[in-house]
Amino acid sequence: MPYSAVVLDSASHVKLIHWLGVKFPPLNKDWEFIAPHMTIAMGGLPASMIRDLGSIQELEVNGFGFNNQVIAVRVSGYFTTNKNPHVTIAVNRANGGKPVMSNAIANWHDMAPFKISGTVQELK
Protein backbone atom coordinates (compact mmCIF):
# COMPACT_ATOMS: atom_id res chain seq x y z
CA MET A 1 0.00 0.00 0.00
CA PRO A 2 1.40 3.45 -0.85
CA TYR A 3 2.21 5.85 1.97
CA SER A 4 3.74 9.25 2.53
CA ALA A 5 6.68 9.78 4.87
CA VAL A 6 9.61 11.90 5.97
CA VAL A 7 12.37 9.60 4.69
CA LEU A 8 15.48 10.07 6.81
CA ASP A 9 18.76 11.16 5.29
CA SER A 10 21.78 8.89 5.78
CA ALA A 11 23.30 11.01 8.58
CA SER A 12 20.04 10.80 10.57
CA HIS A 13 19.80 7.06 9.96
CA VAL A 14 23.35 6.59 11.29
CA LYS A 15 22.59 8.83 14.27
CA LEU A 16 19.57 6.69 15.24
CA ILE A 17 21.41 3.40 14.81
CA HIS A 18 24.27 4.76 16.95
CA TRP A 19 21.78 5.90 19.62
CA LEU A 20 20.21 2.42 19.58
CA GLY A 21 23.60 0.78 20.13
CA VAL A 22 24.26 3.02 23.13
CA LYS A 23 20.79 2.70 24.68
CA PHE A 24 20.16 -1.01 24.02
CA PRO A 25 23.57 -2.74 23.87
CA PRO A 26 23.90 -5.37 22.61
CA LEU A 27 20.78 -6.42 20.72
CA ASN A 28 21.12 -9.98 19.49
CA LYS A 29 21.05 -11.19 15.91
CA ASP A 30 17.24 -11.53 15.98
CA TRP A 31 16.82 -7.74 15.80
CA GLU A 32 16.87 -5.96 12.44
CA PHE A 33 17.89 -2.28 12.46
CA ILE A 34 15.76 -0.18 10.11
CA ALA A 35 15.15 3.55 10.95
CA PRO A 36 14.02 4.53 7.46
CA HIS A 37 11.24 7.08 7.94
CA MET A 38 8.45 8.71 9.93
CA THR A 39 5.10 7.86 8.35
CA ILE A 40 2.99 10.91 7.51
CA ALA A 41 -0.11 9.02 6.31
CA MET A 42 -1.15 5.82 4.59
CA GLY A 43 -1.68 6.82 0.99
CA GLY A 44 -0.39 10.00 -0.59
CA LEU A 45 0.16 13.33 1.09
CA PRO A 46 -2.97 15.18 2.15
CA ALA A 47 -3.89 17.74 -0.53
CA SER A 48 -2.96 20.64 1.75
CA MET A 49 0.60 19.26 2.04
CA ILE A 50 1.45 18.51 -1.62
CA ARG A 51 3.56 21.69 -1.66
CA ASP A 52 5.90 19.96 0.86
CA LEU A 53 6.75 17.09 -1.50
CA GLY A 54 10.55 16.94 -1.77
CA SER A 55 11.14 19.42 1.04
CA ILE A 56 13.65 18.81 3.83
CA GLN A 57 12.06 18.57 7.27
CA GLU A 58 13.76 18.60 10.65
CA LEU A 59 12.36 16.36 13.36
CA GLU A 60 13.15 16.39 17.07
CA VAL A 61 13.70 13.04 18.76
CA ASN A 62 12.39 13.46 22.31
CA GLY A 63 11.54 10.00 23.61
CA PHE A 64 11.75 6.28 23.00
CA GLY A 65 9.40 3.34 23.29
CA PHE A 66 9.80 -0.40 23.06
CA ASN A 67 8.37 -3.84 23.64
CA ASN A 68 9.69 -7.31 22.84
CA GLN A 69 8.98 -6.85 19.11
CA VAL A 70 9.90 -3.25 18.20
CA ILE A 71 11.94 -0.24 19.34
CA ALA A 72 11.07 3.28 18.19
CA VAL A 73 11.92 6.90 18.94
CA ARG A 74 9.20 9.50 19.44
CA VAL A 75 9.54 12.57 17.21
CA SER A 76 7.91 15.96 16.78
CA GLY A 77 8.17 18.74 14.25
CA TYR A 78 6.05 17.59 11.31
CA PHE A 79 2.47 16.39 10.74
CA THR A 80 1.61 12.71 10.94
CA THR A 81 -1.63 10.79 11.26
CA ASN A 82 0.02 8.44 13.79
CA LYS A 83 -1.27 8.81 17.35
CA ASN A 84 2.35 8.78 18.57
CA PRO A 85 4.67 10.31 15.94
CA HIS A 86 7.72 8.05 15.78
CA VAL A 87 10.45 6.37 13.76
CA THR A 88 10.75 2.59 14.12
CA ILE A 89 14.45 1.79 14.52
CA ALA A 90 14.56 -1.95 15.29
CA VAL A 91 12.31 -4.96 14.76
CA ASN A 92 12.61 -8.40 16.39
CA ARG A 93 11.46 -10.48 13.41
CA ALA A 94 12.31 -13.78 15.18
CA ASN A 95 9.73 -12.81 17.82
CA GLY A 96 7.10 -11.93 15.19
CA GLY A 97 7.92 -8.21 15.09
CA LYS A 98 6.89 -6.03 12.15
CA PRO A 99 7.51 -2.29 11.75
CA VAL A 100 3.77 -1.50 11.90
CA MET A 101 3.72 -2.87 15.46
CA SER A 102 5.47 0.29 16.66
CA ASN A 103 2.06 2.01 16.45
CA ALA A 104 0.96 -0.08 19.46
CA ILE A 105 3.91 0.75 21.75
CA ALA A 106 2.53 1.84 25.12
CA ASN A 107 5.85 2.05 26.99
CA TRP A 108 7.21 5.55 26.09
CA HIS A 109 9.98 7.40 27.96
CA ASP A 110 11.20 11.00 27.68
CA MET A 111 14.83 11.63 26.78
CA ALA A 112 17.21 14.48 26.04
CA PRO A 113 16.19 15.74 22.59
CA PHE A 114 18.28 15.71 19.43
CA LYS A 115 17.58 16.55 15.78
CA ILE A 116 17.23 14.35 12.72
CA SER A 117 16.07 15.26 9.21
CA GLY A 118 14.66 13.83 6.04
CA THR A 119 12.77 14.48 2.84
CA VAL A 120 8.98 14.43 2.39
CA GLN A 121 8.16 11.67 -0.10
CA GLU A 122 5.32 9.53 -1.39
CA LEU A 123 6.31 5.86 -1.51
CA LYS A 124 4.83 2.73 -3.06
The model's confidence at residue 63, banded by pLDDT at 50, 70 and 90, is very high
The Cα–Cα gap between 93 and 97 comes to 5
Distance separating alpha carbons of residues 99 and 57, to the nearest angstrom: 22
Residue 62 — very low, low, confident or very high, per pLDDT cuts 50/70/90?
very high
What percent of the chain stands above pLDDT 70?
100
Domains, the chain, with CATH or none? 3-123 (3.90.1740.10)
Q: Are 39 and 82 in contact (CB under 8 A)?
A: yes
Average pLDDT of every residue of the chain: 95
pLDDT at 71 over 90: yes
Whether pLDDT at 72 is above 90: yes
What pLDDT digit, counting tens, does each position of 106-119 carry? 999 999 999 999 99
Residue 27 has pLDDT above 90, yes or no: no
